[in-house]
Amino acid sequence: MNNLISVIIPVKNGAKYLDKAIMEIKNQKLNTEIIVIDDASADNSSEIAQKYGCTIIKNKISQGPVIAKNQALKIANGTYIMFHDADDFMNEGVLNQMLSVLDATSDISAVMCKVKDFISEDLPSEEKNKIQIKNEPYYGLFTGAILMRKEVFDIIGSFDENITAGEILDWQTRMEKHKLKIQKLDIISTNRRIHSSNFGRTQQKTEFKDYAKSLRERLKHKI
């Protein structure tokens, strides 16, 4: 299917925000397939995904987001791949802008946009006051901010399943190793929701360890 975009959403107990995430992907009005990997949720995440006609992989035992992404890559039919968090949401029309650049530039393997943090509206005031976010949009290796050609994974391989978090930095390291180009676009693609159960916040120690490992690998390739 020409120009099909496979949007991959790992989710575990994300029903609270998943509806908004999927709806805004649908609102991009492009040729997309949405693959939701329900990683042993105890809520109705799968039912929400089913309501929107998503392809669903349901794990009986939690495997974590890295393995979930690899599971989805095996069945993805798209020419292009985007990973998306279940609690974030895209801005109108941005996916078309990203696709247009990839379509027009054959030597670019991926495009990266900016993200904008926001504090989830459902947090109690006391907790909101404890959270500091970046006020300005910024580039980062976040899901929802990068659109890539699926053929990238034929070249660099799938995600390293020994990494619990920070797998996107490892992805970038391997992109650089194979001299695959990532083009930055000065647009905000995704609104990054900050709340009490963000995976990055709950797994912070593990994430730092995995990032350190990935950074060491990057330094090896640059020497």
Question: In the predicted model, what is the mean pLDDT of residues 90-107?
Answer: 96
- pLDDT tens across 157-193, in order? 999 999 887 888 899 999 999 999 999 999 999 999 9
Of the two residues 203 and 198, the one the predictor is more confident about is 198
Select from 14, 39, 7 the least CA-distant residue to 143: 7
pLDDT at 218: 44
**In this structure, how many other beta carbons lie within 10 angstroms of the beta carbon of residue 147?**
24
Select from 87, 73, 26 the least CA-distant residue to 52: 26
DSSP 128-149: HTT----SS-EE-S-TTSEEEE
pLDDT for 1 beyond 70:
no
User: What structural domains and CATH numbers belong to the chain?
Assistant: 5-222 (3.90.550.10)
pLDDT for 210 beyond 50:
no
Distance CA 210, CA 137 (A): 25
Select from 58, 60, 99 the least CA-distant residue to 81: 99
pLDDT for 215 beyond 90:
no
pLDDT at 198: 55
Select from 161, 143, 159 the least CA-distant residue to 11: 143
pLDDT for 145 beyond 60:
yes
Distance CA 168, CA 142 (A): 7
Which are the contacts of 134, defined by CB distance < 8 A and separation ≥ 6?
117
Distance CA 8, CA 21 (A): 11
Distance CA 125, CA 12 (A): 25
pLDDT for 16 beyond 90:
yes
User: Mean pLDDT, the chain, as a whole number?
Assistant: 89
- pLDDT tens across 47-89, in order? 999 999 999 999 999 999 999 999 999 999 999 999 999 999 9
Are 187 and 139 in contact by the 8 Å Cβ rule? The answer is: no
Which DSSP helix (H) or strand (E) runs through 216?
helix 204-222
Question: In the predicted model, what is the mean pLDDT of residues 102-112?
Answer: 95
pLDDT for 18 beyond 80:
yes
